[in-house]
Structure 1
């Protein structure tokens, strides 16, 4: 497993991390046994960055992570998030009292005295224009409840605004073969400022594994069933915001240009890692096999220039009209 610098943390992390949304909920049924096994396997494979949130399974994801890490000698970076527990989820809810309450709950769930990294969890855009919210995060650092903080954003605009705040250590953003806009401006700007980039939805909710068909179905409690049009949260989180049928057609085009000796999921992850502004990609895993496959992308050969160009052409012609200006 290769590592990359996470500048403000003062350490390196594995370039493939573990996204712990799926072991929390809204990805269909995942038993605690399978969730624990997937996380153990990821750690065995050299993963040193875990991403979770307080709302993943209403704390289930954080609790599983805390339990597993008590059985291990490693000390990976564990990043969690706050803010989505607000109901309504509005800027006025980001008060010092609410934010500290969320942090205290995550401290309890994870069973630690200090959180490594806490991210604002896709807050309303207005929050990025509220310095007092970032001041509250500074205060929580001063209190010793967290070491660093960052943001998880929906839009490039939000990421560009967030990195104007000097103590924002990281920005989590969707970036994959179906969501290429961050590479145009945001990723170079983040690199210039020494801000880590955490890439979520790297496989477009499983589309970029190449294993889905028009007949593929999902459980009722899987967001790939109920959030395709953004009924529960931003539709960009589900299939990267690309209409399912359109995405399936593009996947077939991608299969024709990607290296035939590399599983498509690994090729999709490698495509992300080809950009050196990326710090860590965080694919999810619901089983040891998935965790092992994800980790294997780190050692895969770089994608040739003609392949990268072909992927961009497919994006420009089939995908960009649906997503490029929206996020």
Structure 2
């Protein structure tokens, strides 16, 4: 009887035997990772043939085949801002996450682009910042501000993320409630391109680095909205003469009313209402008022100062939708 031997058996030098069983085992040096087997992992494979020849049984082991896993370059970028960030006199803070979705350690170059189709305005990128303490909140003086020419994440292990803040200033000419978007792009420092593009010897452990389905570059858009306030100041006067009528004769009292109307969704800071005493008149002491409440003339704890040179009322920080009225009186000389 002729006995058929598999190519593996022949390669192992077995002749004239009756083949009973053939098994192949493939132990891995590492378990599978969420992003796939880690780059640089050695996958080792050895086959075994068991046989019976007459009354003798035995086995033979093949040579070991080792494959080193190449590095796959992939990245994901997501916007973490659930609503448009507010841009006022302070920059808007946009929040993104950058995740290494490849199977090897990789750093990613960052680029923030404020020029997006459909924008009501194109903001000005003030800075790109890494969340140094990983609390998800922009902390000035704590988080790391990236410098021009070095806009990149640290090296991220597979499946690890970092949060990135993009600070955006409003341009001149932006109006209240206008919206805009900024695109953050992250690109693998090793390289990017068409999926399957290979960078010889650039992968972890000296293997190749291969571009994954994301092209090793990804981006996401985050929105901001302008929150601005505007002010209009109107001035009116009423007259009471010594005869009880409204004639502007010497001795008549002129009461000026200054209405500061703040509109828009934003806030005005450091607001003052200032006026001078007209020539030919004299300030009436104790006549200064804010929203009908009397103010003292001297420099003290209240908001007003009044005297021969004029009046100055500090309104401070005022939100849109507010009207503040300042009044004072003078006497015609």
TM-score normalised by L of structure 1:
0.17
Ranked by relative contact order (alpha carbons within 8 Å, sequence separation 6 or more), the top structure is 1
Greater helix percent: which structure? 1
Q: Which structure has the larger Rg over C-alpha atoms?
A: 2
